[in-house]
């Protein structure tokens, strides 16, 4: 029958209690490591000579402690990088105030005989067509932009209509279609707007205020002019 040395057990418990009292309410990996090493030393000092601690087990425990410390250091580094990225994004976002940006949307503003819009093509197209509508939904002009590569494509409209008249300044909308051979190509309408203000959301992202066009995420911006 195996007997337990009460003196040695009391010594280990005393060491644990002392270590526990010295640990702050917020436990870090360093605190855990210190407590572990304290316990390990106490175990080594009070081990049964006839049944010593297994070297492999001790080595595995030390390796686990090293892993815990490494993970905490990695988390600290990642948090620092995230904070740095947020600060960089804040500087970039603030620089957009009063700038003209290209964002998803089909709004077209005709002013002094000029209007500008954009198209994002998922792949190259043989033919890109823009149809412009007035506020009542009536088709006023159809423009062929010809062949284009994948990516963003800008276009302008001088206000001329299909009937040969000149459209009044104001708000219009447009639709885009694109084809390559007999197949359609995914085409997204892009609109131009001026950034009047920006706000930071609770999750750390930035929202750009484009006035009458509404609000857009910082990541929605395709180009800046």
Q: What is the pLDDT of residues 121-159, one digit of tens each?
A: 999 999 999 999 999 999 999 999 999 999 999 999 999
Options 3.40.5.10, 2.60.40.4070, 1.10.260.40, 3.30.70.1710; CATH for 100-224 is 2.60.40.4070
Domain ranges of the chain: 6-74, 100-224
Q: Pick the residue with more confidence: 112 or 96?
A: 112
Q: Is the pLDDT of residue 6 over 70?
A: no
Q: For position 42, what pLDDT does the model report?
A: 72
* Long-range contact set of residues 163-171: C-beta below 8 Å, sequence gap at least 24: 166/113, 167/110, 167/134, 167/140, 167/141, 168/110, 169/110, 169/111, 169/112, 169/113, 170/109, 170/110, 170/134, 170/135, 171/107, 171/108, 171/109, 171/110, 171/135
């Amino acid at each position: 029958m195996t007997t337990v040395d009460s003196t040695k057990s009391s010594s280990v418990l005393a060491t644990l209690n002392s270590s526990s009292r010295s640990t702050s309410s917020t436990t870090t990996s360093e605190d855990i490591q210190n407590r572990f090493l304290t316990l390990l030393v106490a175990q080594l000092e009070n081990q049964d000579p006839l049944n010593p601690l297994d070297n492999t087990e001790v080595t595995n425990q030390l390796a686990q402690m090293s892993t815990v410390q490494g993970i905490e250091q990695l988390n600290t580094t990642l948090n620092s990088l995230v904070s740095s990225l947020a600060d960089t994004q804040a500087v970039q976002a603030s620089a957009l105030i009063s700038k003209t940006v290209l964002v998803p949307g089909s709004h077209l503003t005709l002013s002094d005989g000029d209007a500008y819009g954009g198209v994002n093509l998922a792949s190259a197209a043989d033919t890109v067509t823009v149809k412009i509508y007035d506020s009542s939904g009536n088709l006023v002009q159809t423009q062929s932009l010809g062949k284009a590569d994948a990516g963003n494509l800008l276009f302008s409209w001088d206000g001329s209509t299909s009937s040969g008249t000149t459209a009044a300044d104001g708000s219009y909308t447009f639709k885009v279609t694109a084809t390559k051979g007999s197949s359609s190509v995914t085409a997204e309408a892009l609109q131009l707007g001026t950034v009047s203000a920006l706000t930071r959301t609770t999750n750390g992202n930035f929202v750009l205020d484009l006035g009458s066009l509404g609000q857009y995420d910082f990541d929605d911006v395709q180009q800046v002019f």
